[in-house]
Amino acid sequence: MTASGEGTARRVLVLGATGYVGSRLVPALLAAGHDVVASSSRAPDPAAYAWGTSVEWRRCDATDPGQVAQALDGVDMLCYLVHSLDGPRFAERDRLAARTTAEAVSRSAVHRVVYLSGLVPDPGGRPLSDHLASRHEVESLLASSGRPTLALRAGIVIGAGSTSFEIVRQLATLLLVQPVPSWMRSRVQPVAVSDVVRALVEALGDEDVTGSLDLGGPDVLRYPALLATFSRCAGLLRVRLPVPLAPSTAVGLGMAALSSAPPRTALALAHSLRDDMVCRPDRTWAPADGGPLLDAETAIRRALSRDPSAPESAGRGDAVWTRRQPLLEAIPSPASVRAASLLAVRRAREVSGQARRLLR
């Protein structure tokens, strides 16, 4: 199914504008001629973004009814990019934020809601992971506003700063021998963040498409093949070793220990690794202009580049734990040594931060 990008310029509120996807979406919306209201839960810092002076800033905690109502004032469309995966009760917080937003939308002039969700697999009788179940619940809550709503569902998003990509990058760089659980041969259909942005812009330009559409690139890979593709693009010689009897919780704990990802984030993602994360053939987004989507290898190479014009390269809105450290990367040593050094520095900072909080 195709969502047309032809539409009249609108006033669009981007909730989560300073996050990973939002910080890349806002300039694309401006380029498409939209008037953008940028919102996040933190105090705005326009100087931090090249587009910062081209938008109206509104601070908004999506769980606060008053702030949400103010953010929606005078807005035609809403792009909802609110996620709280790293919190201890992320599902409860996401539920409250979505319900609060839906109620505010129902009382506003907003006539279109677009949400970036996650692919919902067929779990074969098993319950969905907490992470995916929460994304699906948010879709339903936003649709309860009574306004036309479209959920764009993406699996692994390729780009520097993307949570799933950064975990792959850090583990593949650090480990010379990569243990792969024997059950982790599910299929994935990664999508470049530039194509995610394209889909969001098109979705806001076509008010006729509702329900949900899946976002996926042209490649369908199994997880070991994705690791191999990254290693090849990064010029790394790595060996993947099948490991039997590795519970998903143990895998998540290992991911958390060997990467800079917040532990709860790593655990939440690990529980979704058993299921195929591929697009539904009859509900897959296709670009309105007929242009091709980036393949996995091209997207990974862009993510590893330092080209600021490529959405896949590192950006200001990326989480702190994903950011590169130029001084450490300049050390003439093997990539695995640099990765281990970076992980040690980040762990030391975490311990120092916890100590300071305890001493207050």
- Cα 300 to Cα 302: distance, rounded to the nearest angstrom: 5
Q: Please state the rounded mean pLDDT for residues 8-14.
A: 88
- Residue 191 backbone dihedrals phi, psi, to 5 degrees: -135, 140
Q: Kindly report the pTM of this predicted structure.
A: 0.90
**CATH class of the domain at 11-220+274-304:** alpha beta
> How would you class 351 by CB atoms within 10 Å of its CB: exposed for 0-12, middle for 13-18, buried for 19 or more?
exposed
6 vs 45, which has greater pLDDT?
A: 45
pLDDT of 249 above 80: yes
Q: Write down the pLDDT at residue 9.
A: 74
Q: Which residue has the tokens 């994903």?
A: 322
- Cα 166 to Cα 313: distance, rounded to the nearest angstrom: 12
What is the pairing mode between strands 221-222 and 187-188? antiparallel
Q: Write down the pLDDT at residue 125.
A: 64
Q: Write down the pLDDT at residue 124.
A: 65
Q: Please state the rounded mean pLDDT for residues 62-77.
A: 97
315 vs 146, which has greater pLDDT?
A: 146
pLDDT of 140 above 70: yes
Determine contact, residues 315/16, Cβ cutoff 8 Å: no
Domain positions in the chain:
11-220+274-304
Q: Please state the rounded mean pLDDT for residues 264-277.
A: 84
- Residue 24 backbone dihedrals phi, psi, to 5 degrees: -95, -25
Q: Write down the pLDDT at residue 139.
A: 96
Determine contact, residues 268/206, Cβ cutoff 8 Å: no
